[in-house]
Amino acid sequence: MPTDSPLPLSGLRVVEMGSLIAGPFAAKTLGEWGAEVIKIEPPGVGDPLRRWRVMDGDTSLWWQVQSRNKKSITLDLTQPEGQQIARDLIATADVLIENFRPGKLEEWGLSWEALSALNPRLIMLRVSGYGQTGPYRDRPGFGVIGEAMGGLRHLCAEPGRAPVRVGVSIGDTLSALHGVIGVLLALQHRQRNGGLGQMIDVALYESVFNVMESLLPEYDRFGIVREPAGGRLPGITPSNAYPCRDGHILIGGNGDGIFRRLMQAIGRPDLAADPDLARNDGRTARAAELDTAIGAWTEGHTLAEALEVLHAAGVPVGRVYTAADIAADPHYQARDMVVETELRDGRTLRVPGIVPKLSAAPGRLGRGGPTLGEHTAEVLESLGIDATRRTELATKGVL
């Protein structure tokens, strides 16, 4: 795998404003492919993510993943001098990423109109709960609200029970990935259209709604409101979690040929040969019957036994992984998905690898997240702000 080739985004300067998850995840992804990412943080406290979840000393372990490959500068954007430094920095940037509530940058004199006039090549990614327009634009919105409004939370439950959340901030991450797609499209557009940038408007709820498959057209055409189904995937049969003697196994037997192999493997050749079950629509009409038959077989086996039989039959199957399972799995290791990164203090930490896998430009892991303001002097010096002026600004609390 080549490691000395220039990465796809080498030479791209990204300025990141905002905090926590959606905007910073988008910037992290761009940084993994070679972009220089300069993260602006408020003096003294920095991004709250530095202290979210499990701490290692005075910094969260999450921070080491979310902020790898970034430079950190401190800047008080509520002060006019901080706003001017931000303008000077953005004037040198290709991409600006922000995830404040709509209107906040405008209060600071950093609107899209003002910044694009300053830097016509600028691409500005704006991530918010409800988008930059519409009647809800001014409402605060976290990922969990986007998941609910986008239709996902309603489906995350056992029938008749209260909805539960996916165990990670999936709404924020989906928004970040949509934002990255937008940035890459805008870079291509800029190259083909005279070097002009544009603004990208990503809403959390829309990013979730975009992956909700046929939820809306089923309602529009037939009035179907899809309801929670627990571990089952409605309309795609069989696909569910089934009990074994020592845990649950996930089986995706919904392909026509796969279904026949699954039925043969569990000793039900009668179901494999039933013409009414030859296609997905017929199987869906008898989903409860099929789940009962599969469950009766899995209950008589351990996870290891069931996995061995179904792997041999060519049936998509898996067990539920914990963090310990992931860390020990040889496939994760062979695919460079559990890798070591070096922290600022010289220690190493195992972290997720880089996705996707590019054959000629595999991305960079780099180091863990920067200390607060670690690169302030370096970045401001590149803007012509000397040590004396930096001291004055620091004294006033701008840095």
Each domain of the chain, given as residue ranges in start order, spans 13-210+334-395, 239-322
Pairing of strands 36-41, 70-74: parallel
Active-site residue list = 172
- Name the pLDDT band for 394 (thresholds 50, 70, 90): very high
Q: pLDDT, tens digit, for every residue of 78-110?
A: 999 999 999 999 999 999 999 999 999 999 999
- Name the pLDDT band for 233 (thresholds 50, 70, 90): confident
Q: pLDDT, tens digit, for every residue of 27-55?
A: 999 999 999 999 999 999 999 999 999 99
The answer to whether 97 and 18 are in contact (CB under 8 A) is: yes
Residue 294 CA to its chain's centroid (Å): 34
Quote the CA–CA distance of 318 and 231 in Å, as a whole number: 14
The answer to whether 93 and 100 are in contact (CB under 8 A) is: no
- Name the pLDDT band for 344 (thresholds 50, 70, 90): confident
Containing H/E element for 56?
A: strand 55-56
Q: pLDDT, tens digit, for every residue of 48-75?
A: 999 999 999 999 999 999 999 999 999 9
Residue 364 pLDDT more than 80? yes
> In this structure, which long-range contacts are made by residues 382-385, counting pairs with CB atoms below 8 Å and at least 24 apart in sequence?
382/92, 383/85, 383/88, 383/89, 383/92, 385/85
pLDDT of 4 reads 64
pLDDT of 116 reads 98
The residues near 283 (Cβ < 8 Å, ≥ 6 apart) are: 237, 238, 254, 259, 277, 290
Q: Which CATH superfamily is domain 13-210+334-395 in?
A: Crotonobetainyl-coa:carnitine coa-transferase; domain 1 (3.40.50.10540)
pLDDT of 367 reads 86
> What's the average model confidence in pLDDT over 213-240?
94
Q: Which CATH superfamily is domain 239-322 in?
A: formyl-coa transferase, domain 3 (3.30.1540.10)
Sheet containing strand 13-16, strands side by side: 70-74, 36-41, 13-16, 95-98, 123-128, 199-203
